[in-house]
Amino acid sequence: MSTKTTFKRVALVAVAALGLGVLSVAPSNAFTQADSLTVSSATAAVLSTDTATATSAPTATIAFLASAATDSMTITASLVSAPATGTALPYLQLSESTSAIVKAADNSALAVGSAQAANGKVYVNTTGGSTATRVSATFKVYLGTSATTGATVAGTYVVKLTPEVVAGSGTVNAVAQTITFTVTALDTNADSTSTSVIARGAVVPGDIDSTTTFSKALNASGVGIQAATINLTQ
């Protein structure tokens, strides 16, 4: 064997070893890591008319470290228990997502202020590319017979929030959370704090009653005319 051939073989072995060494220390990609799911409160006292607009509505925040553009997680809101006659379901309304792209169960974009009904996953995706990116999104959690109507039946409801890794490898680290809602029926009976104000016509009254006199005669079409508006504050 010539000296020239020996040098070539040594060079090839060195290159191959270097290649294997580089591969062995390469970082893992497409892993969802350091994920968490937290709630602002494990309990909430709400009225039967309350929705996401209520100040007592608790929030849930999902956060994770994405290492690839395809990494994403979901939250599913489900009802664990409810009053026997209750039909309200839990809703998740997006309230903050500056570092995430959030989509509804039908893959449509979920804007801030939009709600996703129970048992429908909300998808939280990274806004970053191939570099590691911190991702988080916050949702208001509330009960309703629709997205804009509260839980009409009073009682205790338990809502479970379940996280899941749906794109990217790795095992979910975030732990499912529960929120116990105590719903109280709205009291419609007048009491010592109730007030009523009357104003002429169809105008919404201010803070002071107006003197209202009106003819009971019908108009030219034979229809009665609204004489006054009474605003009752409970």
Sorted by where each starts, the structural domains of the chain and their CATH numbers stand as: 32-184 (2.60.40), 190-234 (no CATH)
Q: Identify the pLDDT of residue 30.
A: 55
Q: Identify the pLDDT of residue 36.
A: 94
User: CA 48, 51, 52 angle in degrees (round to 5)?
Assistant: 155
Q: Identify the pLDDT of residue 10.
A: 41
Phi, psi of 22 (to 5 degrees): -65, -40
Written as tens digits, the pLDDT of the chain (234 aa) is 555 554 444 444 444 444 444 333 334 445 678 899 999 999 999 999 999 988 889 999 999 988 877 888 999 999 999 999 999 999 999 999 988 999 988 888 889 999 888 777 899 988 876 678 899 999 999 999 999 999 999 999 999 999 998 876 678 889 999 999 999 997 666 666 667 777 766 666 666 666 667 666 777 776 767 767 777 665
Q: Identify the pLDDT of residue 22.
A: 39
Positive or negative, the Cα torsion across 146, 150, 153, 154? positive
Report the candidate in 105, 110, 109 with the shortest Cα–Cα distance to residue 120. Answer: 105
Token pair 């229809």 in the structure block, residue: 223
CA 105 to CA 108: how far, in whole Å? 7
Q: Identify the pLDDT of residue 68.
A: 79
CA 209 to CA 63: how far, in whole Å? 53
Q: Identify the pLDDT of residue 160.
A: 96
| Residue 17, SS3 per DSSP | helix
Q: Identify the pLDDT of residue 20.
A: 40
User: CA 61, 65, 71 angle in degrees (round to 5)?
Assistant: 95
Strand partners, 47: 184
Q: Which residues 6+ apart lie within 8 Å of 19 measured at CB? A: none
Token pair 């095992």 in the structure block, residue: 171
Please give the full DSSP string across 55-118, using - where no structure is assigned: TT--EEEEEEEE-STT-EEEEEEEEEE--TT---EEEEEEEE-TTEEEE-TTS-B--TT-EE-T
Q: Which residues 6+ apart lie within 8 Å of 218 measured at CB? A: 224, 225
pTM: 0.69
Q: Identify the pLDDT of residue 179.
A: 97
